[in-house]
Amino acid sequence: MKKRVLASVIAGLMALTGISASVSAANLTLATGGTTGTYYAVGGVLATVLNPVLDGSSLTVTSTGASKANIQILDDEDAELAIVQNDVMYYAYTGTDLFEAEGAYDTFSSIAGLYDETVQIITCDSSIQTVADLAGKTVSVGDAGSGVEFNAKQVLEAYDMSFDDIKIVNASFGDSADSLKDGKIDAAFVVAGAPTTAVVDLATVKDISLVQLDEEHIEKLQSKYDFYTSTVIPAGTYSGVEEDSLTVSVRATLIASNEVDEDVIYDFLSAMFENKDALVAGHAKFEFLNLEDAVKGITVPFHPGAVKYYAEQGIDVE
């Protein structure tokens, strides 16, 4: 990561001249995901609600390829904040699995867990009842290199399957929904807060169903990947889906570049938690925002600004 080395050199030169290398009161760019995904919608609400109350900072939301791309975007200093899956940020920090080829990233820190991201397998094909039924089918597994793609691999692995057993398509949630509507694909993995906009829209024009996981295979998945939690998507989450659906979830997490000033992150967290009601009014996912859950399931060190904020709330994250 050449930019990381360059940043270190610049930081050293700035320190010698007495100039701060951190991002203080500033325009903050928040990297999210595709425009039809939950990340983008949640980011938009954060900007709308927090910009009037942030102390000297402003938030701009940008659409991206989601988790893995967001780690790289922060490392390239093209954004200061991002929303990522907690499993993907762990891979990035440790240089494992999804990031094994390129190595570890140490240029970001955790801020807060926001809400569960549910592994949803969407189909319009009534013959697809189980994960095993995906064999030989054309399946969207999310954007190339995304956390969704990795989740799809892990779920299939729990059923003793791999991408070799399906015909994979890499596509965003919106494109996947369009392809399901047009019959171009048989199923799609969508890992996002449920309900997800693209799936809601699809369900208004097509009959959809959710492919459930069973308890035996969930336990097998969790035995290898302990960041997954068993989750039930309630009946009625999507039009026409009239029974609960058993699956698993990871967690949507806010991260920040280490270059962002401690006070900026402290102010951001203060504003976010103090304006929860307004955030909930903008997006239902903020109902799950609370101090206790904000620090659960996070194995990447917290940003100093977050450490300071949580300490004042009686929560030790060091």
The CATH number assigned to the domain holding 7 equals: 3.40.190.10
293/246 same-domain check:
no
243, part of any domain: yes
Instruction: Indicate the number of domains in the chain.
Output: 2
163/242 same-domain check:
yes
Could you tell me the pTM of the whole model? 0.73
Taking each helix axis from N to C end, the angle separating 304-312 and 262-274, rounded to the nearest 10 degrees, works out to 50
215/106 same-domain check:
no
179/229 same-domain check:
yes
Give CA–CA dist 88/25, Å, rounded.
Answer: 28
Full pLDDT tens readout for the chain, 318 residues: 434 444 444 344 344 444 444 555 579 999 999 898 889 999 999 999 999 999 889 999 999 988 889 999 999 999 999 999 889 998 999 999 889 999 999 999 999 999 988 999 999 999 999 999 999 999 999 988 777 898 999 999 999 999 999 999 999 999 999 999 999 999 999 998 888 889 999 999 999 999 999 999 999 999 988 788 889 999 999 999 999 999 999 989 999 999 999 999 999 999 999 999 999 999 999 999 999 889 987 889 999 999 999 999 999 998
156/60 same-domain check:
no
Picking from 250, 272, 295, the residue at the C-terminal end of a domain is 250
Return the bridge partners of 120, or none: 190
Return the bridge partners of 256, or none: 81, 109
Amino acid at 224: K
164/47 same-domain check:
no
318, part of any domain: no
283/308 same-domain check:
yes
Give CA–CA dist 113/289, Å, rounded.
Answer: 8
143/267 same-domain check:
no
68, part of any domain: yes
239, part of any domain: yes
SS3 62: strand
56/21 same-domain check:
yes
Picking from 250, 272, 304, the residue at the C-terminal end of a domain is 250
Distances (CA, A) of 231 to 112, 246, 248, 304: 21, 6, 5, 32
272, part of any domain: yes
pLDDT at 286: 96
Picking from 250, 278, 303, the residue at the C-terminal end of a domain is 250
Which helix (H) or strand (E) segment holds residue 155: the answer is: helix 147-158
317, part of any domain: no
Q: Number of helices and strands (H, E) in the chain?
A: 12, 10
107/202 same-domain check:
no
DSSP letter, residue 147: H
Q: Are the C-beta atoms of 193 and 118 separated by less than 8 Å? A: yes
107, part of any domain: yes
60/125 same-domain check:
no
Domain carrying residue 184: 118-250
35, part of any domain: yes
pLDDT at 144: 86
13/71 same-domain check:
yes
